[in-house]
Amino acid sequence: QEIGISSIKVTHSATEAVDGAEVLYTDVWASMGEKDKIAERERLLKEFQINSSLLQHAEKNALVLHCLPAERDKEITDEVIEGRQSVVFDQAENRLHAQKAILVQLDKWSQV
């Protein structure tokens, strides 16, 4: 489906989903308070684990992101999260600076 200059494609194949991708982004499969759903989510999503094999289907210099904390070797492997294409820790550091900027702005507004 075309939306403006972007397009959206729905697929149930992980390799098809990342084919030619420049950025891969993942998150935990079960959030806090959903730990009872872990086994079912792992069964459903294991094909979508970001690992070196899946990463080979993306662009050669594709970047990998994760908002952290990660369940290592579940949604993303240690090899990938620590690998050269991962910008996960830069992403986390940038989030810290963005949060600090929000606090500064909120403080300014509270003094008005």
Please give the average per-residue pLDDT across 88-99, as a whole number: 96
User: Which pLDDT band, with edges at 50, 70 and 90, does 95 fall under?
Assistant: very high
Q: Could you give the number of structural domains in the chain?
A: 1
* Environment class of 58 (CB within 10 Å of its CB; exposed 0-12, middle 13-18, buried 19+): buried
Query: How many other C-beta atoms are found inside a 10 Å radius of the C-beta of residue 26?
Result: 20
Angle at 99 between CA 93 and CA 101, to 5 degrees: 110
pLDDT digits (tens, 9 = 90+) for 69-85: 999 999 999 999 999 99
The CATH number of residue 89's host domain is 3.40.50.1370
Q: What is the pLDDT of residue 74?
A: 96
Asked if 112 and 87 count as a contact pair (C-beta separation under 8 A), the reply is no
Q: What is the pLDDT of residue 4?
A: 85
pTM for the predicted model, two decimal places:
0.84
* Environment class of 62 (CB within 10 Å of its CB; exposed 0-12, middle 13-18, buried 19+): middle
Q: Which domain range does residue 54 map to?
A: 2-110
Compute CA distances 20 → 12, 38, 42, 52, 55, whole Å.
16, 29, 25, 15, 10
From the list 23, 39, 67, 106, the catalytic residue is 67
User: Residue 1: is its pLDDT beyond 90?
Assistant: no
Pairing assessment for the beta strands 63-66 and 23-26 based on DSSP bridges: parallel
To the query of whether residue 91 is one of the catalytic residues in this protein, the response is no
Residue 103 and residue 13: Cα distance in Å, rounded? 41
